[in-house]
Structure 1
């Protein structure tokens, strides 16, 4: 009976990780295809912020799933304790990292206010500077969500950006544009940066991102539950098989 249970656990874990391996391979291939920038792809993706963010997460996610699926399949079918131990360690590390991220988000939720982001934007945003990670991130956010500043364009008043670029009222990332990301055509960038409201985005990124998150909050919650359940199942299966091979 014990041998039958061990054999059943081994095949269940193999089939389960085979799906993960195939899914990881598909995501890896899709991520490589995205990096090649097929014609017209970015025009479709940048019309939806969710698609834009997910498209560039395909390659790392695919690599992680590919590795986990490979370790799980080989460890289960060959009854290799070393591979199973590596698989279990990786799953546990990912689970603990997700748990730590959730705890940190809960502990620092009071600091993630509109006033905090506005203060940080005034202090550190430099304008068109891709070497500064803070500036690069804000430029990406304002480009993806078609927004400007935290509450609006007025956030750039009395800021580091205005000190560095006194002839501009808002950065180029706030300007309205046509086309697609990476090859954008601004409607009238000169009028935009000089202060003409008709050629810039006037909605703040804080409100734009909240609206976006509220739209997909139930989907994100359901996905988080599925991922955590899958990770727990994988850890329990790996531990049972590992103990059975002792």
Structure 2
């Protein structure tokens, strides 16, 4: 009876670790996908150190889960006590690190508010200065999502951009069609747009545009995090049960 129970635990642990292996593969894929710069995402996160660091955290966690899933599968099938203990300790460290990361994300959530992004835009955005990382990042963001400012084009009032370009209400990337190959606005339309023509510019703020775009993925990421934590808990329980059951 004990042998059947031990065998059941062994195969359950193998299944859970295989799921961890798949989860690690998924996180690695997401991290690499962002770093290879689809749709200018690398420039978008570069302006915020928390977001930029988060990409590398995802890569590191994905690599560790990938490795641990592989080790857990090997330890379960071979019934190796040393490998099982090593696996348990590492996955415990990862589990605690994930909880700490979730707590830090909650604590520093105020750094991702509309108000902070608006203040930064007003203070640092320069217009067409491609040598400035902050400016080029925002240009890539507004071009990608067809948006203007954080909340609306009004965000550029009393800003550094207006101080540098007092004759322009909005930067050129806020003009419809600008930045899209084969659909660039002509100089006259761009001039009218930058002087305040609401019909020729994008009037939606980038904060809403980005949130709307990523809303589905945010819920998916949250659900995946809960699933991964649950799987890790079960994997640790099965690892200890198998460790204690071997040679008994």
Q: TM-score range by the shorter chain?
A: 0.5 to 0.7
Distance across 2 between alignment mates of 1:27 and 1:71: 18
Aligned residues: 226
Is residue 230 from structure 1 mapped to residue 231 from structure 2 by the alignment? yes
Runs (5+) with no aligned partner, structure 1: 47-55
Contact map agreement 2:152 2:204 (CA 8 A) in 1: yes
Contact map agreement 2:149 2:155 (CA 8 A) in 1: yes
Shift of 1:122: 1.7
Contact map agreement 2:143 2:174 (CA 8 A) in 1: yes
Shift of 1:33: 9.6
Contact map agreement 1:23 1:66 (CA 8 A) in 2: yes
Distance across 2 between alignment mates of 1:34 and 1:172: 26
| Greater mean deviation of Cα atoms: 101-110 or 149-158 | 101-110
Distance across 2 between alignment mates of 1:166 and 1:94: 52
Give the match for residue 153 of structure 1. Answer: 153
Please report the RMSD computed on the Cα atoms of aligned residues, expressed in angstroms.
4.4
**3-state SS of paired residue (2:240):** helix
Give the match for residue 68 of structure 2. Answer: 68
Q: Which one has the largest radius of gyration? A: 2
Is residue 142 from structure 1 mapped to residue 142 from structure 2 by the alignment? yes
Shift of 1:144: 4.3
**3-state SS of paired residue (2:204):** coil
Higher RCO (C-alpha 8 Å, min separation 6): 2
Give the match for residue 16 of structure 1. Answer: 16
- Which deviations, in whole Å up to 9, do the C-alpha atoms of 1:65-123 show, x marking residues without a partner? 53232122122222344544454345334433432333234334456543222112222
Distance across 1 between alignment mates of 2:82 and 2:143: 46
Shift of 1:211: 3.9
Give the match for residue 51 of structure 1. Answer: none
Q: How does 1:56-135 map to 2 (within 5 A)?
A: 60=59, 63-109=63-109, 112-127=112-127, 129=130, 132=133, 134-135=134-135
The verdict on how the C-alpha distance between 1:10 and 1:63 changes in structure 2, with shifts beyond 3 A counting, is same
Q: How does 1:189-204 map to 2 (within 5 A)?
A: 190=187, 191=190, 192-193=193-194, 195-204=196-205
| Greater mean deviation of Cα atoms: 12-21 or 192-201 | 192-201
Contact map agreement 1:188 1:199 (CA 8 A) in 2: no
**3-state SS of paired residue (2:150):** coil
State the TM-score, normalizing by the size of structure 1: 0.64
The verdict on how the C-alpha distance between 1:236 and 1:116 changes in structure 2, with shifts beyond 3 A counting, is same
Shift of 1:138: 3.8
Give the match for residue 49 of structure 1. Answer: none
